[in-house]
Amino acid sequence: MSNTPDPTPGTPPLAPPDLDLVEETGAVERVIERRRSITSLLPSRSPKLIAGLVILAVIVLYAIVMPHFVMDPRAISTDMLKPPGYGGHLLGTNQAGQDIWAQLAYGTGGSLVIGLTVGALATVLSAFFGVFGAYVGGAVDEGFALFTNVILVIPGLPLTIVIGNYVPVQQRGLFLISVVLAITSWAGSARVLRSVTMSVRNRDYVAAARISGEKTWRVLVVEILPNLIPVMASQLIFSVIFAILGEAGLSFLGLGANGTYTLGTILYFANQSLALTQGAWWWFIPPGLMIALLGMALSLVNFSIDEIINPKLRQSTRAAQRKWGLTPAQIKKSQEENLR
Amino acid sequence: MTDQTAPPPRHQTNPVLSVRDFSVDYLGAHTVHAVQHVSLELGRGEILGLAGESGCGKSTLAYGVTRLLRPPAMITSGQAVFHSREGFEIDISALTGEELRQFRWDKIAMVLQGAMNSLNPVISIRSQLEDVFTCHRPDMGRRERLDRCGELLERVGVERRRLRAFPHELSGGMRQRVMIAMALALDPQVLIMDEPTTALDVVVQREILDEIARLRAEFGFAVVFITHDLPLLLEIADRIAVMKAGRIVELNGSFELYTQPQDAYTKRLLASFPSLLGERGDFIRSGAYVPGADETDGKDG
Amino acid sequence: MRFYVQKLLFYVAAFWAALTLNFLIPRMMPGDPVSIILMKLAASGQPVTPETRQAIAIQLGGIGEGSWQSQYWRYLGNLAHGDLGVSISNYPVKVTDILQQALPWTITLIGLATVIAFLAGISLGIFAGWKRGSWLDNLIPAATAFQSVPYFWLALVLLLVFSRYLQWFPLGQGYDTMAFPILHPGLNWPFLSSAAYHAVLPALTIVLSSVAGWMLGMRNMMVSTLSEDYILTAQAKGLKPGRVRFTYAARNAVLPSLSGFAISLGFVVAGSIVTEQVFSYPGIGFQMWKAVSNNDYPLMQGTFLVISVAVLGANLLVDLLLGLIDPRTRARS
Residue B258 confidence (pLDDT): 87
C148 contacts on A by Cβ (under 8 Å):
241, 245, 291-292, 294-296, 298-299
Q: Is the dihedral of CA C208, C211, C216, C222 positive or negative?
A: negative
| Mean per-residue pLDDT of chain B | 82
Chain B positions contacting chain C at CB under 8 Å are: 66, 68, 101-106, 109-110, 112-115, 117-123, 131-132, 135-136, 166, 168-169, 179, 182
- Higher-confidence residue of A230 and B293: namely A230
Rounded to the nearest 5 percent, the helix, strand and coil shares of chain C are 75, 0, 25
State yes or no: pLDDT of C142 exceeds 60: yes
Nearest chain B residue to C329 by CA distance is B122
Confidence of residue C31 (pLDDT cuts 50, 70, 90): low
B67 contacts on A by Cβ (under 8 Å):
337
C236:B112 CB<8 A: yes
Q: B183 vs chain C: nearest CA distance in angstroms? A: 8
Buried b (16+ CB within 10 A) or exposed e, A239-261: bbbbbbbbbbbbbbbbbbbbebb
Q: How many CB pairs under 8 A join A and C?
A: 196
Residue A317 confidence (pLDDT): 61
Q: Shortest CA distance to A6 belongs to which of B273, B289, B296, B277?
A: B296
Residue A21 confidence (pLDDT): 29
Pick B67's closest partner by Cβ from A6, A22, A337: A337
- Report pLDDT digits (tens) over C247-301: 889 989 888 888 777 777 877 888 888 889 888 888 898 998 888 888 888 888 8
Q: Are A248 and A233 in contact (CB under 8 A)?
A: no
Helices (H), chain B: 10-13, 58-65, 97-103, 125-136, 142-155, 172-184, 202-219, 230-236, 254-259, 264-271, 280-287, 293-300
Residue C87 confidence (pLDDT): 82
Pick C220's closest partner by Cβ from A242, A295, A306: A306
Q: Shortest CA distance to C111 belongs to which of C43, C255, C207?
A: C207
Q: How many CB pairs under 8 A join B and C?
A: 77
Write the single-letter amino acid at A86: Y
* Percent of chain A clearing pLDDT 70 (strictly above): 79
Q: Are A279 and C163 in contact (CB under 8 A)?
A: no
Between CA C307 and CA C315 the distance in angstroms is: 12
- Report pLDDT digits (tens) over A261-292: 888 888 888 888 877 778 788 888 889 899 98
Q: How many residues are recorded in chain A? A: 340
Q: Are B113 and B181 in contact (CB under 8 A)?
A: no
Nearest chain C residue to B165 by CA distance is C327
Average pLDDT over residues C298-312: 89
**How many beta carbons lie within 10 A of that of residue A274, not counting itself?**
11
Write the single-letter amino acid at C79: L
A24:B32 CB<8 A: yes
The DSSP bridge partners found for residue B108 are B104, B190
Confidence of residue B230 (pLDDT cuts 50, 70, 90): confident
Chains in contact with A, counting 3 or more C-beta pairs less than 8 Å apart as contact: B, C
Residue C264 confidence (pLDDT): 78
Residue C189 confidence (pLDDT): 77
3-state secondary structure of A234: helix
- Report pLDDT digits (tens) over B78-137: 889 999 888 888 888 888 888 888 889 988 999 886 666 889 988 999 999 999 999 899
Residues of chain B numbered 149-208 and touching chain A (CB < 8 Å): none
Pick A2's closest partner by Cβ from B57, B269, B298: B298
Q: Shortest CA distance to B267 belongs to which of B241, B287, B248, B247?
A: B287
Residue C232, judged by CB atoms within 10 A of its CB (0-12, 13-18, 19+), counts as buried
Residue B283 confidence (pLDDT): 41
Best-predicted range by mean pLDDT among A121-125, B151-155, B265-269, C141-145?
A121-125
Q: Is the dihedral of CA A116, A120, A125, A127 positive or negative?
A: positive
Cis status of the peptide bond prior to B72, with omega within 30 of 0: yes
Between CA A270 and CA B284 the distance in angstroms is: 89
Chain B interface includes C232 (CB < 8 A): yes
User: For A72, which DSSP code?
Assistant: P
Q: Is the dihedral of CA C175, C181, C184, C186 positive or negative?
A: negative
Alpha-carbon distances, residue A189 vs A117, A309, B274, C249 (angstroms): 16, 15, 50, 26
Range name among A224-228, B123-127, B146-150 with the lowest pLDDT average: A224-228
B122:C325 CB<8 A: yes
State yes or no: pLDDT of A70 exceeds 70: yes
Range name among A273-282, B275-284, C108-117 with the lowest pLDDT average: B275-284
State yes or no: pLDDT of C13 exceeds 70: yes
3-state secondary structure of B90: strand
Confidence of residue C149 (pLDDT cuts 50, 70, 90): confident
Write the single-letter amino acid at B203: V
Alpha-carbon distances, residue B282 vs B251, B258, B271, B286, C14 (angstroms): 22, 12, 11, 6, 72
Between CA A237 and CA A233 the distance in angstroms is: 6
Residue B223 confidence (pLDDT): 93
C25 contacts on A by Cβ (under 8 Å):
162-163, 166
- Higher-confidence residue of B276 and B51: namely B51
Residue A274 confidence (pLDDT): 79
Between CA C247 and CA B244 the distance in angstroms is: 38
pTM of the model: 0.81
Q: B98 vs chain A: nearest CA distance in angstroms? A: 8
B68:C236 CB<8 A: yes
Q: B250 vs chain A: nearest CA distance in angstroms? A: 17
B168:C234 CB<8 A: no
Between CA B258 and CA B230 the distance in angstroms is: 10
State yes or no: pLDDT of C222 exceeds 80: yes
- Higher-confidence residue of A7 and C130: namely C130
State yes or no: pLDDT of A118 exceeds 90: yes
- Higher-confidence residue of B12 and C321: namely C321
Name the helix (H) or strand (E) containing C154: helix C151-158
Residue C202 confidence (pLDDT): 92
Average pLDDT over residues B137-162: 90
Write the single-letter amino acid at B139: D
Residue B161, judged by CB atoms within 10 A of its CB (0-12, 13-18, 19+), counts as exposed
Residue B267 confidence (pLDDT): 86
The DSSP bridge partners found for residue B226 are B50, B194
State yes or no: pLDDT of C156 exceeds 60: yes
Residue A337 confidence (pLDDT): 62
CA angle A94, A97, A103 (to 5 degrees): 60
Chain B interface includes C242 (CB < 8 A): no
Average pLDDT over residues C287-316: 88
- Higher-confidence residue of A327 and C145: namely C145
A252:C274 CB<8 A: yes
Q: Give residues with Cβ within 8 angstroms of C307, minimum separation 6.
A: A155, A158, C269, C273, C284, C288
Average pLDDT over residues A198-214: 81
Residue C290 phi/psi, 5-degree rounding, is -60, -40
Residue A308 confidence (pLDDT): 77
The DSSP bridge partners found for residue B251 are B241
Pick B104's closest partner by Cβ from C237, C243, C248: C237
Alpha-carbon distances, residue B209 vs B47, B173, B198 (angstroms): 12, 11, 11
Between CA C152 and CA C160 the distance in angstroms is: 12
Average pLDDT over residues B227-236: 86
- Parallel, antiparallel or unpaired: strands B73-83 and B15-26: antiparallel
Q: Are B103 and C238 in contact (CB under 8 A)?
A: yes
Average pLDDT over residues B173-178: 88
Delineate the domains of chain A, giving CATH numbers in brackets.
45-313 (1.10.3720.10)
Nearest chain C residue to B115 by CA distance is C229
Average pLDDT over residues A198-203: 81
What ipTM is given for this predicted complex?
0.83
Q: Are B46 and B217 in contact (CB under 8 A)?
A: no
Q: How many CA atoms lie within 13 A of B202 on its CB side?
A: 1
Residue C47 phi/psi, 5-degree rounding, is -70, 135
Best-predicted range by mean pLDDT among A29-38, A210-219, B272-281, C185-194?
A210-219
- Report pLDDT digits (tens) over A1-58: 333 333 333 323 332 322 222 333 333 333 333 344 444 545 556 777 888 899 999 9
Q: B245 vs chain A: nearest CA distance in angstroms? A: 8
C223:A315 CB<8 A: yes
Chain A interface includes B32 (CB < 8 A): yes
Nearest chain A residue to B56 by CA distance is A25
C315:A153 CB<8 A: yes
State yes or no: pLDDT of C60 exceeds 80: no
Q: Shortest CA distance to B222 belongs to which of B187, B265, B253, B195?
A: B187
User: For C187, which DSSP code?
Assistant: S
Nearest chain C residue to A278 by CA distance is C164
Q: Give residues with Cβ within 8 angstroms of A163, minimum separation 6.
A: A180, C25, C29
- Report pLDDT digits (tens) over A155-180: 888 888 888 888 877 778 888 889 98
C234:B131 CB<8 A: yes
Residues B129, B130, B136, B139: what is their CA dihedral angle, to the nearest 10 degrees?
Answer: 150
Q: Are A297 and A56 in contact (CB under 8 A)?
A: yes
3-state secondary structure of C265: helix
